[in-house]
Structure 1
């Protein structure tokens, strides 16, 4: 072998080694959002897989209710952007400390996005500015459920625009899909050392039909499908399975018969003595509903609207409860032995308020700890707490967060 040949081979080896190292050292978490492949799992807060033999680590999950931007919210976003599009980061600034501190944070994006620059609309057929997704990412969310009765408000195009924007900013999504392959894929996150699956379903799409030939576009609330998907998620490697359910009766604090019966069915489902579902997260009712432990598994029947405009009930009266919601925070610990479930060792809730005068989501724990003397803050905190605890969750260990999160 000549000297020139040896030098060429050495140079080629160095180039290949450099490329391999670069490929291994660049994690999804640090990849630019524009380079995240469409339909791929988003970056997670726990980077990479645990090292072989490393001890298992638990995680905290934060989940919040419906993001339902009415016209007033859209208008405030334009004001906050000072004439340059929309900026919704101030909207979520008050809850950013608790959301960003979680190992995994999930929202419910109830509406779909319009085209860049609009037009946008509120009730009854929503088209929200896509900058909402940017603000959710900035607040610390890792992903959102996207199955709701408004998912097809602008047909297939609106659904696609929404998921495209999620991919662009690096947010995960579950419950709606652009392709059959995407619909069949389990949404997995890494939190602590756990692989966490997120599944999402809605009771209806307000009468809008599924796009022609695409019955998988939005997941509908069917018990057999939910259980089958949960078991598929386990086979895909999920240690924990979270199910988001868009269900219930609007303006009713008490969960309806469908919520109670389906909740019991889902939490009773087991495979080889292990529950198929580890937590149920409900949305849709516009107001806070109870948390309850059923068959050893927590159900949040309804978190309420995290973001909404002034809300009016079915009698046409303004209902302040439409501005109330709760943040659910659950701490999961690794199983004591192989084949057992990850256990919720701490269950908490944080009352929050959509302040429509200011156009901001208010963490009521922080506001009251800051000596807020506003009657609406105290009234909201009391009403949310009463609703959340209305089915006896305190006896099973659910606690209201009292220390400031800032």
Structure 2
């Protein structure tokens, strides 16, 4: 008998300073759940939900967002309450290989994984001990064995400790063949291979040629689903005739506006139907898209942030969203919609 499951995926979970300030409670704890309340029902419908955690959970600090004087990059951290909020929202797996995973050093990276384990959130891409050739995650979802791989193009010039290069799955032009071999090896062990790639150029809607080359190589090597992150804006998605799916960038799931570019407020929830036939063949049979918008609401309790499903917000305005922000949301979505050509957007 054939088996079907639903897989949902979102983009960057980027907890920048103002988001943390708005979530801080009177007792100096943090309440993040309301940020996700409008999209949680959509995610909870899925059998497997994957997101990109683009912040360490490195412990309490006076300032969670800092600048790195040596590299010039921003460095992030987030209170542990985010993990429980993501679990409650419906997340099962978090990709942790990205350019901010070392923002609080090796100690912060290891602590992040410990916090995720405590909240029963599976993860892959970064490691507290040498994974060897098992630098991936394998899950069983309703009898379909799924392998999840996560790679990042770098760590914002923060060096990994000597002898511990295994802490982060790093991708560069010189090791594409090695990564393709990883995908082929994993494909022999599982029914479905999902690859999370943190690559590309920020704020660019068109994938770089090298990103296209890598995605094609990994699809040819046995990947069934490729989920791209890092550009912070939506990039094209496609479903192949052979039953594979790729999106070059899911955009931001939650973030403040970056680089004064309103397209960084826009992301997408990808909803995939995965079917395993009685002969063992597995294909992505359908891909649907729910566009989202990270907005800043004016409420009786001050400024709050929330992720809005755009189509629902277009039909019924969200209380607290300004008219100008709503108009901008609609404008950006109309501009972005052609990148998600499933015929229903």
**Rounded Cα–Cα distance in structure 1 between residues aligned with 2:29 and 2:195:** 34
2:332: which partner in 1?
383
Aligned to 1:180, the other structure's residue is in SS state: coil
- Compute the RMSD of aligned alpha carbons: 2.2
2:268: which partner in 1?
326
**Rounded Cα–Cα distance in structure 2 between residues aligned with 1:128 and 1:182:** 29
Deviation at 1:190, TM superposition (A): 2.4
Is the Cα–Cα contact under 8 Å of residues 120 and 128 in structure 1 kept in the other structure? yes
Aligned to 2:291, which of 327, 351, 354?
A: 351
Task: Please list every run of 5 or more consecutive structure 1 residues that lacks an aligned counterpart in the other structure.
Answer: 1-54, 270-275, 313-317, 401-406
Deviation at 1:181, TM superposition (A): 3.0
Distance verdict in 2 for CA 1:346–1:378, change over 3 Å: farther
Count of matched residue pairs: 326
Aligned to 1:299, which of 246, 256, 266?
A: 246
- Is the counterpart of residue 254 in structure 1 residue 206 in structure 2? yes
Deviation at 1:106, TM superposition (A): 0.6
**Rounded Cα–Cα distance in structure 2 between residues aligned with 1:209 and 1:215:** 9
**Rounded Cα–Cα distance in structure 1 between residues aligned with 2:335 and 2:146:** 30
2:36: which partner in 1?
92
Deviation at 1:380, TM superposition (A): 2.6
Is the Cα–Cα contact under 8 Å of residues 262 and 332 in structure 2 kept in the other structure? no
Deviates more, 1:240-249 or 1:367-376: 367-376
Aligned to 1:366, which of 312, 332, 342?
A: 312
Distance verdict in 2 for CA 1:62–1:131, change over 3 Å: same
Aligned to 2:166, the other structure's residue is in SS state: coil
Distance verdict in 2 for CA 1:193–1:382, change over 3 Å: farther
1:51: which partner in 2?
none
TM-score scaled by structure 2? 0.88
Aligned to 2:84, which of 124, 127, 134?
A: 134
Aligned to 1:286, which of 232, 235, 242?
A: 232
Q: Which residues of 2 match residues 4-403 of structure 1 at below 5 A?
A: 55-78=1-24, 81-116=25-60, 119-121=63-65, 124-181=74-131, 184-221=134-171, 222-236=175-189, 238-269=190-221, 276-293=222-239, 296=242, 297-312=244-259, 318-335=260-277, 337-338=279-280, 340=281, 342-357=282-297, 358-370=304-316, 374=323, 376-377=325-326, 379-381=328-330, 383-384=332-333, 386-390=335-339, 394=341, 397=342, 399-400=344-345
Deviation at 1:189, TM superposition (A): 2.0
Aligned to 1:212, the other structure's residue is in SS state: coil
**Rounded Cα–Cα distance in structure 2 between residues aligned with 1:173 and 1:266:** 21
Deviations 1:287-313 (A, max 9, x none): 11111235742211111111112321x
**Rounded Cα–Cα distance in structure 2 between residues aligned with 1:371 and 1:356:** 13
Deviation at 1:322, TM superposition (A): 1.3
**Rounded Cα–Cα distance in structure 1 between residues aligned with 2:92 and 2:223:** 20
**Rounded Cα–Cα distance in structure 2 between residues aligned with 1:324 and 1:220:** 27
Aligned to 1:159, the other structure's residue is in SS state: helix
Deviation at 1:144, TM superposition (A): 0.7
Is the Cα–Cα contact under 8 Å of residues 133 and 165 in structure 1 kept in the other structure? yes
**Rounded Cα–Cα distance in structure 1 between residues aligned with 2:317 and 2:80:** 35
Give the number of the structure whose residues are more often strand, by fraction: 2
Task: Please list every run of 5 or more consecutive structure 2 residues that lacks an aligned counterpart in the other structure.
Answer: 68-73, 298-303
Give the number of the structure whose residues are more often helix, by fraction: 1
Q: Which has the larger radius of gyration?
A: 1
Q: Of the two structures, which has the highest relative contact order with CA contacts closer than 8 Å and spacing of 6 or more?
A: 2
Is the Cα–Cα contact under 8 Å of residues 105 and 141 in structure 1 kept in the other structure? yes
Aligned to 1:173, the other structure's residue is in SS state: strand
